[in-house]
Structure 1
């Protein structure tokens, strides 16, 4: 990090799935913070893999495949009957992490918006130029918020949604949650579902501690969710939704 003081020993709750948390924990450590892992969600394949494979095969008639996350890329690659080189010529990625996951499979040609998420994809000139009736497949998780789909459908796009993975809430006992929250003053929470689950896991006696944390969240929508859930501090939203982006936002706040 560029700021000399960095996080100055700040305890940061890292809530990403266990298999994806190491990079974020390393970013916190490199910035001088103390990462405390408490994975709230795990990533699993679709409940009916055969149906997902069939849907993915049917999506080959689409002009575009739009990937909403790195998980969508990885699970699509596991489910697909063909190699990524045989996927449609036009691919779009919801952010740099998703584009990097595609590049790791040899697809370095994916379009990636300047702004992460659904808003960035909807503003992507190549997608904005599509005319009514164009066929677009969105590859995503079963939990995926409707903003991207509704935005494309409002333009008359013929949308096909393929759920290639799902999130599963991780159980923790009261002692684990209490101990983790006692060790931190900030938390990085990367989805609204994870934030809701964190609140559900927290025992009543520890809720004031939870609500006093400085949150780093992925979007204005999740910020509003935090407000309605009772969090007192104004959450941070990084300029780019990435491990580095979340930590940079915390560093800027810590040193403001």
Structure 2
């Protein structure tokens, strides 16, 4: 018989959890929000501003997350009263694409996968000889995307727009939760540092991807479910599958 899960801990950063909270409530869960991460915007170095000023010289601009899209659009808007034409604005998934489209950009995103590997399959990134690609991301992001583009002949530039930091304190809710949603490797590390004892007691941890799940499993946790992606709808679908 499946375990009935009711109280669900959402660990997305402040300002990014409301949609997930609403979906959970509509599905009959009792969501609780406790951010594991703080997203801290970084000042732009002169070289970073130059890349944004030269936006029309790039074949493609890749936004690795909704945070990158929000901060990137704000920085670009200061320099571009009208968006340049002929640039492929690429989003890692639909949540990121939605931010770009709200700003008036024609965003392209993979139909499935919602990660760097899926973006690399887009037609506009297959033939890159003598083309420039700009990556807008957080500090210390994965290098797979940039390395693959370089292998395909692209000149790759990156701009770090934000830094992920552990929340100053993770206040574990009372009464205890039945499930914990983990949507990034960084948030998992922060949770482990500050709330390992509580995590061990949680009936279910839902990982937002196989990569996140591997990190959780390697830390010795077997109370694990793995969603198709970190997107809210996929996290909810995975959780509902365990409910009955």
Unaligned runs of 5+ in 2: none
| Partner Cα distance (1:193, 1:158) in 2 | 28
How many Å apart are 1:132 and its aligned residue? 2.9
- SS of the aligned residue for 1:86 comes to coil
Name the one with the larger strand percent.
2
Kept after mapping to 1: 8 A contact 2:43/2:161:
no
| Partner Cα distance (1:42, 1:88) in 2 | 35
> Does residue 1:216 correspond to 2:214, yes or no?
no
Partner of 1:156: 153
| Partner Cα distance (2:62, 2:156) in 1 | 11
> Does residue 1:146 correspond to 2:139, yes or no?
no
Structure 1 segment 166-177 matched on structure 2, within 5 A: 166-172=163-169, 176-177=171-172
Partner of 1:96: 94
Structure 1 segment 85-234 matched on structure 2, within 5 A: 85-86=83-84, 89-107=87-105, 109-115=106-112, 116-128=114-126, 130-172=127-169, 176-177=171-172, 179=173, 183-202=176-195, 204=197, 206=198, 208-209=200-201, 212-234=202-224
How many Å apart are 1:148 and its aligned residue? 1.6
TM-score by length of 1: 0.84
How many Å apart are 1:53 and its aligned residue? 2.6
- SS of the aligned residue for 1:144 comes to coil
| Partner Cα distance (2:222, 2:24) in 1 | 23
Partner of 1:3: none
Name the one with the larger helix percent.
1
| Partner Cα distance (2:195, 2:5) in 1 | 24
> Does residue 1:82 correspond to 2:72, yes or no?
no
How many residue pairs align between the two structures? 239
TM-score by length of 2: 0.88
| Partner Cα distance (1:84, 1:123) in 2 | 29
Q: 1:207 to 1:252 in 2, by over 3 A?
A: closer
Unaligned runs of 5+ in 1: 1-6
| Partner Cα distance (1:83, 1:9) in 2 | 49
Kept after mapping to 2: 8 A contact 1:18/1:39:
yes
How many Å apart are 1:56 and its aligned residue? 2.1
Q: Deviations over 1:150-179 (max 9, x none)?
A: 222232321111112222221116xx23x3
Q: 1:214 to 1:156 in 2, by over 3 A?
A: farther
| Partner Cα distance (2:165, 2:68) in 1 | 15
Aligned Cα RMSD in Å?
2.2
| Partner Cα distance (1:29, 1:160) in 2 | 42
How many Å apart are 1:104 and its aligned residue? 0.3
Q: 1:186 to 1:143 in 2, by over 3 A?
A: farther
The counterpart of 1:55, out of the listed 42, 51, 54, is: 51
How many Å apart are 1:111 and its aligned residue? 1.5
Q: Deviations over 1:126-151 (max 9, x none)?
A: 212x2333211111111322222222
